[in-house]
């Protein structure tokens, strides 16, 4: 029987990858047009509205950037862990942990002036994210416990903690019995840049640049990638794996915590159980599409943000939320599939005797070498 096997391409140029990204999205748009037509919507009208509300005009662009900021930070969070082969599935929870600690600090220190309070809150948000990651990081580095499970489980713990805080100790007495936490002080709002964009976008951009350089250009980053791709070599070269795992995961948690704090002080007014709003989970897709490279995260986050903003807006044309969700998923899926095919090629393996021995050595699993 003839079977397809995916084989990693030897060398993939960044230009080829970007092309793959674009082709994937175009194919998805074509398929999406069919979906829209079948569901009695006008593809031209819908795509025009998507494009307009994501890009044209100041408010549109600012909406897309408003979403890009948390997506870029959670994408970076996942990518930092991902550069050494670790999976932080719990950025969603670390966002909450960051926002919880930052809210607590704001309650205690609301007499501080704006800039100082903001700085303290952002720092405590990073600490909060790291704190939630501490357990999974230690369990992974010292006991070998999979961080995928532990980080994911803690997401729900963090959200439940917020639910408890808002009915219990942090319930706002001024909310007429409704369980809500008090608004963060006015002076803690992040200064705006334009439209809906605040300086959180600049912080995200700065961090992306720092981490791109750190991962690709420094000895630290080299060791990180080496430890991920070949632990034995790294150990032979004198790299402490434990320390590397610990640093990568804690940084990952801290960045997600910062993302949560920027949401808290930038776009929201108070801590709620829905504050993380799925951004932490979306960050996994962003990082995967960026092939775990911090340098790619910014672009992917921007496109992802645009797809979300555009996809949501078409409901005003009468497109149902289900169709809008499917359309958004198709576009992202198209990009993901294209990324796979631009990095791997298909080789057809035949039955014994018909193929060369070399091909038979290919393992059975669909994707190898990642």
Partner 1 sequence: MAKKFLLKLLVVLAALTLIAVGCGNDDDAAPAPAPTQAPTEAPALEPTEAPEPEPTEAPMDDGVIAAFVFVGPVGDAGWTWAHNEGRRFAESQTGATTHFAEDIPEDGPDFRNIVVDFIENEDADVIFATSFGYMDAMEELAGEYPDVVFEHASGYKMNEDNFGNFFGRMYQPRYLSGMAAGALTEANQIGYVAAFAIPEVLRGINAFTLGAQRVNPDVEVHVTWTLTWFDPAVEGDSAAALLEAGADVIAMHQDSTAPGLAAQDAGARWVSYNSDMSAFAPDAFITAPVWNWGPYYARIIDAVASGTYAPGAYWGGMDDGIVALAPLAADVPADVAAEIDEVAAQLIDGSWDVFTGEIRDQDGNVVVAAGETMEDGPMLGMEFFVEGVVGSATG
Contact residues toward partner 1 (CB under 8 A) are: 23, 26-27, 29-30, 33-34, 37-38, 40, 42-45, 47-49, 53, 59, 63, 66-67, 163, 167-168, 176-179, 196, 263, 267-270, 272-275, 277-279, 309, 312-313, 315-316, 318, 320-322, 325
Nearest distance in Å: CB 165, partner 1: 11
Q: CA nearest 265: which of 341, 369, 187?
A: 187
> To the nearest whole angstrom, how small is the minimum distance from the Cβ of residue 159 to partner 1?
9
Please, what is the minimum distance in Å from the beta carbon of residue 298 to partner 1? 19
Q: DSSP readout, 171-223?
A: B-TTSTT---BPPPPGGGSPPEEETTEETHHHHHHHHHHHHHHHHHHSHHHHH
Nearer to partner 1, 141 or 265 (CB): 265
- Residue 42 CB, shortest distance to partner 1, in Å, is 6
Greatest alpha-carbon pair distance for the chain in Å reads 79
For 90, the 3-state DSSP assignment is: coil
Write down the least CB distance from residue 137 to partner 1, Å.
28
- For residue 360, the minimal CB distance to partner 1 (Å) is 30
Distance between CA 279 and CA 288 in Å, rounded? 14
Give the C-alpha separation, 103 to 342, whole Å: 44
Please tell me the distance from the alpha carbon of residue 158 to that of residue 96, in angstroms, as a whole number: 6
Closer residue to partner 1 (CB): 63 or 140: 63
Any residues with CB less than 8 A from the CB of 268 and at least 6 apart, and which?
275
Beta bridge partners of 198: 192
Q: Which of residues 45 and 110 has its CB atom nearest to partner 1 in the complex? A: 45
The whole-angstrom separation of Cα 282 and Cα 302 is 12
What whole-number distance in Å separates Cα of residue 221 and Cα of residue 211? 9
Considering the complex, state which of residue 89 and residue 314 has its C-beta at the smaller distance from partner 1. 314
**Distance in Å, CB of 35 to partner 1, minimum:** 9
63 versus 244: smaller Cβ distance to partner 1: 63
CA distance 81 to 89: 10
Strand ranges for the chain from DSSP E: 3-8, 192-194, 197-198, 344-349
Q: Which is nearer to partner 1, 196 or 293 (CB)?
A: 196
Return the number of the residue (230 or 320) whose C-beta is nearest partner 1: 320
Instruction: Give me the least distance between CB of 49 and partner 1, in Å please.
Output: 7
By beta-carbon proximity to partner 1, the closer residue of 23 and 145 is 23
């Amino acid at each position: 029987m003839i079977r397809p096997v995916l084989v990693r391409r030897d060398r993939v140029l960044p230009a080829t990858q970007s092309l793959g990204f674009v082709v994937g999205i175009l194919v998805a748009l074509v398929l999406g047009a069919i979906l829209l037509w079948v569901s009695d919507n006008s593809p031209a009208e819908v795509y025009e509205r998507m494009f307009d509300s994501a890009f044209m005009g100041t408010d549109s662009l600012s909406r897309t950037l408003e979403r890009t900021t948390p997506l870029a930070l959670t994408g970076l969070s996942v990518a930092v862990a991902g550069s050494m082969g670790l999976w932080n599935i719990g950025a969603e929870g670390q966002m909450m942990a960051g926002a919880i600690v930052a809210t607590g600090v704001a309650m205690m220190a609301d007499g501080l002036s704006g800039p100082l309070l903001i700085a303290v809150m952002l720092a405590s948000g990073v600490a909060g994210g790291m704190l939630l990651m501490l357990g999974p990081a230690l369990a992974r580095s010292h006991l070998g416990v999979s961080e995928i499970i532990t980080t994911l489980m803690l997401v729900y713990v963090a959200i439940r903690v917020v639910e408890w805080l808002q009915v219990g100790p942090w319930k706002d007495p001024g909310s007429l019995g409704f369980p809500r936490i008090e608004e963060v002080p006015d002076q803690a709002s992040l200064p705006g840049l334009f439209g809906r964009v605040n300086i959180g976008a600049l912080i995200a951009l700065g961090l992306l640049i720092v981490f791109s350089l750190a991962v690709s250009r420094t000895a630290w980053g080299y060791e990180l990638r080496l430890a991920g791709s070949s632990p034995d070599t790294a150990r032979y070269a004198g790299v402490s794996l434990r320390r590397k795992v610990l640093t990568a995961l804690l940084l990952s948690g801290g960045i997600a915590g910062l993302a949560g704090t920027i949401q808290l002080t930038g776009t929201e007014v108070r801590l709620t159980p829905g504050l993380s709003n799925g951004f932490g989970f979306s960050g996994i897709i962003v990082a995967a599409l960026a092939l775990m490279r911090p340098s790619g995260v910014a672009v992917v986050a921007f496109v992802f943000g645009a797809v979300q903003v555009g996809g949501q807006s078409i409901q005003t044309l009468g497109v149902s939320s289900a169709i809008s969700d499917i359309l958004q998923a198709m576009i992202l899926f198209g990009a993901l599939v294209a990324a796979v095919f631009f990095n791997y090629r298909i080789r057809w393996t035949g039955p014994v005797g018909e193929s060369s021995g070399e091909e038979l050595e290919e393992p059975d699993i669909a994707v190898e070498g990642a």
